[in-house]
A and B are shown apart, each in its own frame.
Chain A
Amino acid sequence: MSRLARKTLRAARSLAGRSVRILLRPSLVRRLAARAKQSDTVRRIAIPLLIRFPRLRSGLARLRVLSRSAPSGDIRHPDWPAPLPAEYLNMPASERRVLLDLARSGEPPSHP
């Protein structure tokens, strides 16, 4: 194990039991991921942290999700005159169709 890796791991262990928040800009996450492919230094810093704090991995993944442009204002669809629920964005197409069909039930439906 390299000296830098040992120091990083020691530092990571000293954080055990504490509430640690690491804030990274999404662009930095992307650069870190790209650099880790080629850079020993980045690997030596990042990998011990990821091993010691596995939850960071999903945290990084979540960061990437958050880095997508969030919708601003109401969620709309051309086939519906009023705002839609936030869940609409995370529904597959069939659930979306059924939801709108239910909302206008009594009118002629589309298909699930």
Chain B
Amino acid sequence: MRIVFDLQCCQHPGIDTHTLHNTLALVQEMANTSAGRDLWIAFDRRDPARLDALAAAFAGAVPPERLVGYTGMPQDDEAGARLAALVRQNFFEALGADLVFVPGPWTLAAGTAAGATRPRYRQAFGPAAPASLAAARAGLRQADLLLVQHEGAAAAAAGADGPALVDVQGVDARAAAVAWAAFERLAPVPAHPAQEGVRARLAWVTASAPDGTAAALLAQLAPYYEIELVAPAGAAAHGLPLRTLAWFEEHGAAYQRVLYHFTDSPACAPLPRLLARHPGIVVLHDFALGQVFDGGAPAMADAAGDAFGAALFASHGYSGLQACQRLGRSATAAAFPLNRTVLEQALGVIVHDANACALARHWYGPHAAAGWRVVDLSGSAALAGDYADAIEHLSCRSPGASYRRLLQAVAAAGAPRDPRARSLIAAARAIAANQPPARTRQLLVDVSALAATDLKTGIQRVVRSILLALIKDPPPGFRIEPVYGDGGNQRYRYARRFALGLIGLDGVQAEDEVIEHQAGDVFLGLDLAANITVSNLALLADMRSQGMAVYFVVYDVLPLLQPEVFPFGTDQYFGEYIRAVAAHADGLLCISRAVADELADWVGAHAAPRTRPLKLAHFHLGADLDASAPTSGLPDDAPLVLAALGARPSILMVGTLEPRKCHAQALAAFELLWEQGVDVNLVIIGKQGWMVDALADRLRSHPRRGHTLFWLPGVSDEMLTEVYRLSSALLAASSGEGFGLPLIEAAQHGLPIIARALPVFREVSGEHAFYFEGKEPARLAEAVQHWLRLSAEGLAPASSAMPWLSWSASAQQVLDAIVREQWYRILPAAPHAQP
């Protein structure tokens, strides 16, 4: 027996402190003595004022997943109150409640107006004060039980109309025991009309004639239902009325029960359309349904807009579409189940083997098979009874069945039919929000900056590469969904057009809809969209309050640690961003352990005290160029440059020109070397960034330019590869980095590394690099000379054995944290922080 406490009265601003205290005392006492009972606590999500405090009051007594929020709707008039009652009733029915107890003053309870249908659960109210007892009994016509705290009231009212009265005589442990005993005496509402002797009309929809087992089952079900067979013309009807699929499409609404028998066969192709029009129970004879949707078109370009493409995208998202491009249509139909739409549209699902439930959980997450009925066809004795019980339960008690009843009740209540009516829009929002989690869990990847403008920055390259790796190999039970925000706490939208373009399906039409989200979804701020994020804090807090986990990637904290090498104001807005994500995220992922340590130190010293712990993880970036869409092409002067590089030792610097990269120190050091007659090239690859105007002028007008000094802004990956091949060493002189991808790229080309002794460089390169210290040009000149001597003697550290990750492995490290909950550090909450 599922019992739900609806705490809406305790959230109501009209409740006085004394009554609230007494009500909560009784309810907490009941929760504390609920061991062994299926107790849930429900809150009204629209009234968050007391929500945190109430949730805290039941922590420990009720598991967190049984604390659920529902969305009510305004009750401006009698019609609105009736609609609100139906919406509330639908929520509790979809939750599977057998008894809903509304503790507190019943006059404050919303949604108790008489609905058009009697709920499928029992209702209890109270404790009612003696003065309001008579009014309560008159007003709560649909209640089954009213708790009172008035000695003798129950006995005095015995035999009168209205709900049963039980005197709990207090709010202590004894009162809780009395209330529990009263609840347990309530007989449950009959599960379905069949139990009341009604024989329903049932359509048995199949694409093939029933075989021996099915024919036997049909015969056994005859006492329970008026069965009609819906099958292709000419099928053996086993003495039942035979209807064609076309006839059923027009007349299906006349049946009280519909069973769709799905096998993985092209013959079942018409069934999904019929199911969408006339909802019913799906009997899965095969779990995968790829053949149902595979009409035989050979190319993905044809499939993207047809039923196969729609089913593939609905079931498996971009991962399915991408696999179809790689594998082809038939292989994809064989490799993926493609059955998500069918499962979502079903009123309920019957399978004959528990393995189907395991497959559903594997493909669509841990709750995917919730509510499914497994009927073992091998045991014949109780088969028909089990089948009928499953059919009745799923047809009457499933969330889908409750939704159908709600629509009928709304029609009967005379609600407006114009979708522009305010009340209908409010009801649609509340009903949609109140449906139990049914979709595959989503990993929402924020690509706000990249989707708006691809500036080809290093961070955007990471975003593209990680996203593609996630799409290619999503975590089991998750669907990868790129999203973007516009700021101003407007809801995020699916980046459908961007994502389709990313996987090479630019021509496919798609709408960037507002996102759906549910408890268990994960939001990953992979892109650096600082301004949009800081203007979405209320939205992110709301997403978290609905059970989503929110994580952000932090690429570095250099603007906060070295503000002098960034443009004016960068530390201010970047600090605002880091404070915001540290306060509102469940966890932060850094691109190296060094950044995680720097971030932890900075948050500890500068961020506001947190009410919750902050999880920290780190991952390394991938370095396989192929996965990040490399560019190609050589500049006109490539032969001259490459010839000069091969003529003498060449030291290479890769990265945008900015003060942090210490190009000025390197140039001055090489000027010293050239003065000393050292025959060596300095090659700089990177565009001009900020605060380097003077350096750029020096490089452009340098007398050594084109001889032993080369500055190549904006070269392709192809040219970069050539320069790597001909260079002697990579110089990583930067005074601070988040990761240091050029070190790994150098190692991939077997290029030795001369690196500043930064923690992050030691983390990435270990013993595979030659390290130097000091900001003076002379120190660097000495280090380069030292390395040249070691190199000549064959003693310079080699980089070729340096380990590095593919983007796929990098993405798995991200998933280790946000899906598999493997964290590097957890920063504790401040003991007295205010929410």
Contacts and interface: CB of A to CB of B under 8 A. Distances in A.
A84 B487 contact: no
Contacts of B407: 101-102, 105-106, 109
Contact of B487 (A61, A99, A102): A61
B688 to A, nearest CB: 7
Given A40-B693, A61-B535, A103-B418, A111 B569 contact: no
Interface in A81-95: 82-85, 87-88, 90-95
Contacts of A94: 432, 435, 516
A2 interface: yes
B486 A61 contact: yes
A34 B567 contact: no
18 contacts: A33-B452, A37-B455, A50-B569, A57-B487, A57-B534, A57-B535, A64-B452, A64-B486, A85-B420, A88-B419, A91-B428, A91-B429, A91-B514, A93-B513, A102-B428, A108-B278, A110-B276, A111-B344
B223 interface: no
A14 interface: no
Contacts of A15: none
Q: Considering the complex of A and B, which 6 residue pairs feature the smallest CB-CB distances, nearest first?
A: A61-B487, A47-B569, A99-B428, A106-B411, A105-B411, A94-B432
B404 interface: yes
Nearest to A30: B453
Contacts of B452: 30, 33, 64
Contacts of A107: 253
Contacts of B410: 102, 105
A44 B693 CA distance: 14
A62 B453 contact: no
Nearest to A44: B568
Given A34-B455, A38-B687, A108 B277 contact: yes
A72 B831 CA distance: 54
Contacts of A43: 567-569, 690
A19 interface: no
A101 B404 CA distance: 10
Given A40-B691, A95-B428, A111-B279, A105 B415 contact: yes
A1 interface: yes
A7 interface: no
Contacts of A51: 569, 572-573
Contacts of B516: 92-94
B531 interface: yes
B419 A103 contact: yes
B435 A112 contact: yes
A76 to B, nearest CB: 11
Interface string B405-425: 001101100010111100011
Contacts of A69: none
Contacts of A99: 419, 424-425, 428
B252 interface: yes
Contacts of B252: 108
A106 B403 CA distance: 12
Contact of B457 (A30, A37, A50, A93): A37
A43 B253 CA distance: 64
A10 interface: no
B570 interface: yes
Given A43-B567, A50-B573, A109-B403, A104 B432 contact: no
Given A34-B453, A105-B415, A111-B403, 19 more contacts: A38-B688, A38-B689, A43-B569, A51-B573, A57-B534, A58-B488, A92-B513, A92-B515, A94-B432, A97-B432, A98-B428, A98-B431, A102-B415, A102-B427, A106-B411, A109-B407, A111-B344, A111-B400, A112-B435
A91 B427 CA distance: 13
A106 B408 contact: yes
A84 B425 CA distance: 11
A64 B532 CA distance: 11
Contacts of B490: 65
Nearest to B276: A110
Contacts of B278: 108
Contact of B573 (A47, A80, A100, A104): A47
Nearest to B253: A108
B780 to A, nearest CB: 26
Residues of A contacting B: mostly: helix
Interface string A53-83: 0000110111011000000000000001011
Nearest to A55: B535
Contacts of B345: 110-111
Contacts of A98: 427-428, 431-432
Contact of A40 (B404, B535, B690): B690
B453 A33 contact: yes
Nearest to A66: B486
Contact of B408 (A33, A58, A105): A105
Interface of B: 252-253, 276-279, 344-345, 400, 403-404, 407-408, 410-411, 415, 417-420, 424-425, 427-429, 431-432, 435, 452-453, 455, 457, 486-488, 490-491, 513-516, 531-532, 534-535, 567-570, 572-573, 687-691, 693
Contact of B570 (A47, A91, A100): A47
B481 to A, nearest CB: 12
A1 B403 CA distance: 63
B428 A84 contact: no
Nearest to A108: B253
B639 to A, nearest CB: 29
A47 B567 contact: yes
Given A1-B568, A57-B535, A104-B417, A65 B427 contact: no
Nearest to B400: A111
Contacts of B431: 98, 102, 112
A112 B490 CA distance: 23
B532 to A, nearest CB: 6
A99 B419 CA distance: 6
B55 to A, nearest CB: 25
Contacts of A64: 452, 486
A57 B425 CA distance: 31
B573 A109 contact: no
A62 B276 CA distance: 38
Contacts of B532: 61
B139 to A, nearest CB: 28
A18 B344 CA distance: 55
A88 B513 CA distance: 10
Nearest to A86: B420
Contacts of A47: 567-570, 573
B420 A109 contact: no
A71 B716 CA distance: 40
Contacts of B277: 108
Given A94-B516, A109-B279, A111-B345, A85 B568 contact: no
Contacts of B534: 57
A51 B569 CA distance: 7
A112 B403 contact: yes
Nearest to A100: B419
A109 B276 CA distance: 8
A99 to B, nearest CB: 4
A64 B569 CA distance: 23
Contacts of A39: 690
A12 B407 CA distance: 57
Contact of B488 (A61, A102, A105): A61
B547 to A, nearest CB: 16
A87 B427 CA distance: 13
Nearest to B516: A92
Contacts of B418: 82, 103
Contacts of B488: 58, 61-62
A1 B564 CA distance: 10
Contacts of A48: 568-569
Nearest to A106: B411
Kindly name the residue among A30, A43, A107 whose own CB sees the greatest number of chain B CB atoms within 10 A. A43
Nearest to A77: B419
Contact of A109 (B404, B415, B432): B404
Contacts of B513: 92-93
- Kindly name the residue among A30, A100, A111 whose own CB sees the greatest number of chain B CB atoms within 10 A: A111
